[in-house]
Structure 1
Amino acid sequence: MLLSKHKKNHNANSGKRLLVSINVLGSAGPIRFVVDEEELVEAVIDTTLKSYAREERLPRLGSDHRAFFLYCPHHGSDVALSPWDKIGSHGARNFVLCKKPHTTNEAADNGSRTSSLSRRGNGSWKSWFHLNLKISSH
């Protein structure tokens, strides 16, 4: 009797659970796992990177969650989600994980290389996606 009351209280106090699907740019398929809707975006990125590494997917991404953006493609916005937002606050379950663009110090390179940001456009997932569609349609 006491055990069942404890389970009911625990379920009443915990938030809704969501099955999220995270598409990692450059990877074969999405990573799927269940999260609490109160989970922070930062923690979801961290869990995605750990799952990705555990599955030994390529390309290797590393484990620093600060080096990645999480986008919600259904919102029609190019703006990355804030790491401090709650994942359930966006009303979506499908997301795109992108590595933040790296810029090189052009002064140190004496102008020999352009920044990777300028080579890749604005660094958003949409520009990468559209570029790959154009290449594959030929």
Structure 2
Amino acid sequence: MLLSKQKKNQNANNAKRRLLISINVLGSAGPIRFVVNEEELVEAVIDTTLKSYAREGRLPVLGNDHSAFFLYCPHLGSDAALSPWDKIGSHGARNFVLCKKPQAATNEAAAEDGSGTSSLPRRGSGSWKSWFNLNLKVSSH
């Protein structure tokens, strides 16, 4: 009896493995943490993050268009964003950074739709790593 119960639990755990992930939103006070299925797509994780962010009333207001954001994994050592069609568990990481896509890319997409508007040029390099590294330098007393 006990042996068959253990086998059922192992099969259930293998079928639906869940992960606690932490997503830092650039410009926000702290990370958002929630549990996801490791088979969940990156696109769905971004959508869940935006909904949780809005539900908590965090600032700055981001909106709910998941296609306007990139999800990065700083521990992978790559400047490339994760593909929206990747599975979140395929990278073996649990800490991510959510960044808004550059304004120029958003304006190009809007121009293709015929609703494009000109925007002011961005200040700074636009690299999330440079912003992230600058904010991590804390002087010790």
Q: TM-score, length-normalised on structure 1?
A: 0.76
Matched residue of 1:53: which SS? Answer: helix
Which residue in 2 is equivalent to 1:31?
32
Letter in 2 for 1:127: S
Q: Is 2:128 aligned against 1:125?
A: yes
Unmatched tracts of structure 2, length 5 or more? 109-116
Q: Is 2:20 aligned against 1:16?
A: no
Determine what percentage of the aligned residue pairs are the same residue. Answer: 75
- TM-superposed CA distance for 1:55, in Å, is 0.2
Matched residue of 1:61: which SS? Answer: coil
- TM-superposed CA distance for 1:133, in Å, is 5.3
After TM superposition, where is structure 1 displaced by more than 6 Å over at least 4 residues in a row?
none
Between the aligned partners of 1:50 and 1:114, the Cα distance in structure 2 is 28
Aligned residues: 123
Question: Which shows bigger deviation, 45-54 or 12-21?
Answer: 12-21
Which residue in 1 is equivalent to 2:113?
none
Q: Deviations over 1:63-117 (max 9, x none)?
A: 0000000000001111100000000000000000000110268xx86xxx7632x
Which residue in 1 is equivalent to 2:46?
45
Q: Deviations over 1:20-79 (max 9, x none)?
A: 000001111100000000000000000000000000000000000000000000011111
Unmatched tracts of structure 1, length 5 or more? none
Matched residue of 2:70: which SS? Answer: strand
Matched residue of 1:74: which SS? Answer: helix
Which residue in 2 is equivalent to 1:115?
121
Q: TM-score, length-normalised on structure 2?
A: 0.75
Letter in 2 for 1:126: K
